Amino acid sequence: MTDLAAPLPGLAPAPNTRNKARAGRRGQGTLAMLWRKAGWLMRLYIGLFVLILLVALFAPLLAPYDPNAQTLLARLRPPVGFDRAMPAHPLGTDQLGRDMLSRTLYGLQLTMLIALLGSLISMLLGTALGVIAGYVRGPLGALIMALVDIQIAVPFTLIALLVIAIFGNSLPVLITVIGVAGWEAYARVVRAQVLTVSRMPFVEATIAAGATHSRILFRHILPNIVSPIIVMWTMTFSALILLESSMSFLGLGVQPPTATLGSMVGLGRDYLASSPWIAVVPSLAIMFVSLLVLLIGDWLRDALDVKLK
Amino acid sequence: MLDFLTRRTLGSLATLIVVVVAVFFATRLSGNAMDYMLPPGIDAETKAAMVRHFGLDQPLLEQFWRYVTGLFSGDVGISLFERRSVVTIYAERLPNTVMLFSYALVLSVVLGVPLGIAAALNRRNPLGGAIMAVAFVGYATPNFVLAIVMILIFSFNLHWLPSSGDATPLHFLMPSIVLAAPMLAEIVRFTRNALLDVLSQDYLRTARAKGLPEWLVIVKHALRNAAIPVVTIIGLQVAGMVARCVLVEAVFATKGIGDLVVFATMQRDYPVLQFGVILIAALVVVVSLVVDLLYAAIDPRVKVTA
């Protein structure tokens, strides 16, 4: 995952008291430090998460069938191990005879893609606005924080519904909506962090030495607030997976026949009584991924010693 | 204290104003709502008549004025889909949502606080660990997944509970549990952590030293102080709970506000949708305000710092 690796070079140039291991000079060192800190269980979680990412990435190679190909003679077959199962469809088939394994793999790919892009947009937007609110301050900063308060006050699902009613539901709209969903959390945390860091002696020294704003920001402040941003990222990532799944489940996400995990559950809902696996297989996949990300995020927060307040 | 009250109230008011303005102009962004509502190939004359009928041909500011005054007089237009007054439709739907919401709230507090206490007192044995593990899973499970699992088990396998609808109180049991789950998990976690914090305080040692029985120490001295973060959590979770209401109602076909809003989105029924967003936002803002004020009343420290 490039995003986990990319921001890690941080924690470096300016003295960082939290970072006890001086080895964390470059990204490699920080990653190695984290890996050493992880117990075997956490290593297992991380390994599983990487595996999921790889599976999502290579879904087209792994899927045995076209996810939208219908085999009407093999409709509603249960997964292997149940009556009437077909070995050719290990996870069964849906009401149109589409292979559940292939659909789950492709659905996973799309769900991860949407959550990844969405969380990236959230991160960039929220961090930029948080930096403005914390570094530039002034009326613009106050306006940003007012927007944060409003977004906290209004349930985001409503905003999403409104946007989808206006712009229709397509993939770009969905990704944008999901990207906008998480920005406020970043803005809040980043602003607080920027305020704290910019009062530290080494930043004041840099200002006194006559450094430009961009140098102060990019060389001195941002590298020191990378840890909370990474932790926030894991938290928003799982929240966005759930948001995307919920929207798709309601039929407000991607359009059929394209599948995400959420829309598969939504379609499977109508067959719960007779063919529960259609909804259960993607449900389990969603739960598995979101649990993993939450567990890793929780651990990362402690390992990087981040306080999100 | 008064300063805090006024600032908090003004902030809520500003939020509501922004919501009202944003919702109105956002729904007009996409051009004419009629384009989506009417069947394709309809003649221009009929279309113009419909546009006139719903007042969509007037200048934007005039429409806005009518809409704002309508909000205060209770006339927020007619559903484009049902051809009935929007307020009537919401009045019919509101009781179900309020019921669902209150059941879930009561459920999460009544179960969450004792479970949190149990988890704190048993933190060194398996019971505490088990409670926290269940809470974590409850927190991480998407609502609709939990709903589907519960329907499978309790409706289709055990035949104990109805899978959808809102005819009897029994119909509300599963939706309430699903709606309560994440909040319940949060309350368990927070009660446990708050209680653990308090348990290590000096005044608890004093209470024990003067010979109070353990249950009195917990209930009278520890729990009172641990209650503060729990109130905060309820305040923080209200917005999320309302958002989940939308999903839960859709899954269980509860005829409430959330179900209505989703349907309006699919039908692009703007009058219904815009009023729904404003109504729900108003409810959330008011409830959060009340919780905040309550918080200030419970915790004397808030008055000093705010």
Q: In terms of residues, how long is chain B? A: 306
Contact (CB<8Å) B288/A273: no
**What tokens does B148 get?**
């589907």
Query: Which of these, B294, B305, B167, lies nearest to B234 by C-alpha position?
Result: B294
| Residue among A155, A252, A279 minimizing CB distance to B239 | A155
Distance CA B290, CA B284 (A): 10
Closest-CA residue in chain A for B288?
A153
Which has more confidence, B25 or A292?
A292
DSSP for B267-293?
A: HT-HHHHHHHHHHHHHHHHHHHHHHHH
Q: What is the pLDDT of residue A23?
A: 41
Q: From CA B86, how far away is CA A101, in angstroms rounded?
A: 44
Region A182-186: what's the mean pLDDT? Answer: 85
**Over the stretch A146-168, which tens digit does the pLDDT of each residue have?**
888 888 777 788 888 888 877 87
Asked if the model's pLDDT at residue B32 lies above 80, the reply is no
By Cβ distance, the residue of B139, B243, B265 closest to A156 is B243
pLDDT digits (tens, 9 = 90+) for B147-204: 888 888 887 778 777 777 777 777 788 888 888 888 888 888 888 888 887 877 788 8
Residue whose pair of structure tokens reads 């039908």 in the numeric block:
B267
Which residue carries 């190695």 as its tokens? Answer: A32
Task: Tell me the average pLDDT across B40-52.
Answer: 73
- Choice among A288-292, B116-120, B160-164 with the minimum mean pLDDT: B160-164
Instruction: Work out the angle between the directed axes of helices B270-298 and B223-252 (0-180°, nearest 10).
Output: 170
Contacts of A290 in chain B (CB under 8 A): 140-142
Contacts of B199 (CB under 8 A, 6+ apart): B120, B222
Instruction: Please give the average per-residue pLDDT across B226-236, as a whole number.
Output: 74
pLDDT at B302 over 50: yes
Contacts of A250 in chain B (CB under 8 A): 246-247, 250, 262
Greater confidence (A245 vs B33) lies with A245
Residue-wise pLDDT for A1-16, tens only, equals 334 434 444 444 444 4
* Between residues B219 and A20, the one the model is more confident about: B219
For the residues of A188-221, what is the DSSP string, one character each?
HHHHHHHHHHTTSHHHHHHHHTT--HHHIIIIII
pLDDT tens, position by position, B232-267: 777 777 777 887 888 888 888 888 888 888 888 887
Q: Within 13 A of B118's CA, how many CA atoms are on the CB side?
A: 15
Q: Closest CB to A155: pick one of B18, B163, B284.
A: B284
Query: Do the Cβ atoms of A154 and B156 come within 8 Å?
Result: no
Please identify among residues 251-280 of chain B the ones whose CB lies closer than 8 Å to any CB of chain A.
Answer: 251, 261-262, 264-266, 268, 270, 273-274, 276-277, 280
pLDDT at A3: 40
Taking one residue from A and the other from B, the number of pairs with CB-CB distance under 8 angstroms is 125
More confident residue, A133 or B225: A133
Q: The pTM is what?
A: 0.79
The kind and range of the H/E element at A77 are none
Distance CA B174, CA A75 (A): 31
B306: pLDDT confidence band, cut at 50, 70 and 90? very low
Residue of A158, A159, A267 to mutate, interface with B, max B Cβ within 10 Å: A158
CB atoms within 10 A of CB A301: 19
Q: Which residues of A touch B273 (CB under 8 A)?
A: 161-162, 165
Give the pLDDT band of residue A124 (cuts 50, 70, 90).
very high
Give, as one character, the DSSP assignment of residue A137: -
Closest partner residue to A150 (CB to CB) among B18, B243, B274 is B18
Does the pLDDT of residue B30 top 70, yes or no? no
> Closest residue of B to A268, CA-based?
B148
* Three-class secondary structure of residue B43 per DSSP: coil
List chain B residues with CB under 8 Å of A267. Answer: none
CA-based Rg of chain A, rounded to a whole angstrom? 22
Q: What are the helix (H) ranges across chain B?
A: 2-29, 34-37, 44-53, 60-73, 86-121, 126-140, 143-150, 173-199, 202-209, 214-216, 223-252, 257-267, 270-298, 300-305
C-alpha span between B306 and B295 (Å, rounded) = 12
Supply the mean pLDDT for chain A. 80
A34 vs chain B: nearest CA distance in angstroms?
A: 23
pLDDT at A125: 92
Are A154 and B15 inside 8 Å of each other by CB?
yes
Contact criterion met (CB < 8 Å) for A246 and B264: no
- For chain A, give the percent of residues with pLDDT over 90: 3
Which residue from A155, A161, A265 is facing B144, i.e. has the nearest CB?
A265
Q: Are B187 and B114 in contact (CB under 8 A)?
A: no
Mean residue pLDDT of chain B comes to 80
Q: Which residue of B has its CA nearest to A160?
A: B265
B89–chain A Cβ distance below 8 A for any pair: no
Q: In chain B, which residues have their Cβ closer than 8 Å to the Cβ of A150?
A: 15, 18-19
Q: Give tens-digit pLDDT for A84-122.
A: 777 777 777 777 778 888 888 888 998 889 888 999 999
Whether the ipTM is more than 0.85: the answer is: no
Mean pLDDT to the nearest integer, A55-66: 82
Smallest Cα distance from B169 to chain A, Å? 23
Best residue of B25, B36, B148, B273 to probe chain A, by most A CBs closer than 10 Å = B148
From the list B128, B180, B105, the residue with the least C-alpha distance to B150 is B180
Share of chain A above pLDDT 70, in %: 89
Q: What is the DSSP track for B182-212?
A: HHHHHHHHHHHHHHHHHHTSHHHHHHHHTT-
Residues of B in contact with A155 (CB under 8 A): 239-240, 242-243, 246, 280-281, 284
Chain A CA closest to residue B263: A250
Within 8 A by CB and 6+ apart from A186, the residues are A122, A123, A125, A126, A127, A129, A130, A229, A232, A236
Which is higher by pLDDT, A308 or B18? B18
CB atoms B246 and A157 under 8 Å:
yes
Q: Is the model's pLDDT at A20 over the cut of 70? A: no
Q: Which residues contact A123 (CB under 8 A, 6 or more apart)?
A: A182, A186, A229, A232, A233, A236
Inform me whether the pLDDT recorded for B67 exceeds 60: yes
